[in-house]
Amino acid sequence: MDEVAELRADCARCSGLCCVALPYAASADFAYDKPSGRPCRHLEVFSCSIHAQLPERGFAGCTVFDCLGAGQQVTQHTFGGVTWRDRPEQAGDVFAAFLIMRQLHELRWYLRQADRGDQPAAVRDRVRALATETAALTLLGPEELLRCDVAGHRAAVDVVLSEVSRRVRRSAVRAVADLSERPRSTRRADLIGVKLAEVDLRGCDLRGALLLGADLRRCDLRGADLIGADLRAADLSGADLSTALYLTEPQLAAARGDDQTRLPAGIRRPAGWQLRR
């Protein structure tokens, strides 16, 4: 199996881990409160009984979550097909392993995007070494995985992700003729509902930015760093994200776009996006 396939959820090979391990609170995204470790009331064996009606039933948040393949990795490899239902006494370890694995798979996704031909050989060597190390961590057994210092490993990975980001963004910004229309602060900034249609945002640092409902139609986001950016209901119709950094499919699933939105190679266009007429 290729790496991209490994980093995409295969619910048929999972044991419904996201429906049990993750907590959620009653909100516009979830119809009721659920603590970590308690199965969702709509989970039947390992399948969602309302999957086809999630938004209508008050679970829009479920439609934009993606474990990036962590669920099937924990179910099939870490615990060898033995599920939390088979051994309830192991359930806590299974759920904890899932949360760790989700982070490791996310790091693998980012490292794939950081392995770019426009980076110096020394930087690419570091990216690839970390990618190999991260992949090896996903193959650990339960006890070793639960002892994994995922926070420390994430910090080490972020160093090289940030270095690649600085290089790419610096090169992209040089091509921007007018910076006056860009927000003054973008990194982790509150940009909820901001109107930026057609603004040149090449090389912009949008890490952790709140872009809920933002108007980003026809924006040029090439070389922009979007790691952790909240794009829920943001309008990306006609936007160019072809070389944007650290973009994930769950981020796009939460946003709006169309067939004119340009995406990085290897990233799928959300099925719910509208075709331009």
- Mean pLDDT within 52-80: 92
Half-sphere CA count of 139, side-chain side, radius 13 A:
7
| CA–CA distance, 22 with 37 (Å, rounded to integer) | 7
Q: Report pTM.
A: 0.92
Over the stretch 39-59, which tens digit does the pLDDT of each residue have? 999 999 899 999 889 989 999
Strand 47-48 relative to strand 43-44, pairing? antiparallel
Over the stretch 201-228, which tens digit does the pLDDT of each residue have? 999 999 999 999 999 999 999 999 999 9
| CA–CA distance, 201 with 158 (Å, rounded to integer) | 22
What residues contact residue 77 under an 8 Å CB cut-off, 6+ apart? 138, 139
Q: Tell me the C-alpha to C-alpha distance, in Å, between residue 219 and each of 121, 205, 213, 270.
A: 31, 14, 14, 18
Are 240 and 199 within 8 A, CB to CB?
A: no
What residues contact residue 41 under an 8 Å CB cut-off, 6+ apart? 32
276 has pLDDT over 90: no
Half-sphere CA count of 184, side-chain side, radius 13 A:
0
The pLDDT > 70 percentage for the chain reads: 99
260 has pLDDT over 60: yes
Size of the chain, expressed as the number of residues it contains: 277
Q: Give one word for 223, left, alpha or beta, with left for phi > 0 and alpha for psi -120 to 50.
A: left
Q: Name residue, tokens 């090439």.
A: 222
Where does the chain have alpha helices with state H?
Answer: 3-6, 18-21, 60-63, 70-72, 91-114, 121-137, 142-146, 150-173, 249-254
Q: How many CB atoms lie within 10 A of CB 39?
A: 16
Over the stretch 130-187, which tens digit does the pLDDT of each residue have? 999 999 999 999 999 999 999 999 999 999 999 999 999 999 999 998 899 999 899 9
Q: Name residue, tokens 């033995």.
A: 82
Where are the domains positioned within the chain?
3-22+65-170, 179-267
Phi, psi of 47 (to 5 degrees): -125, 150
Strand partners, 24: 34
Are 142 and 75 within 8 A, CB to CB?
A: no
Structure tokens at 135: 């992949």
CATH annotation of 179-267: 2.160.20.80
Crossing angle of the two packed helices 150-173 and 121-137, in degrees rounded to 10: 150
Over the stretch 98-126, which tens digit does the pLDDT of each residue have? 999 999 999 999 999 999 999 999 999 99
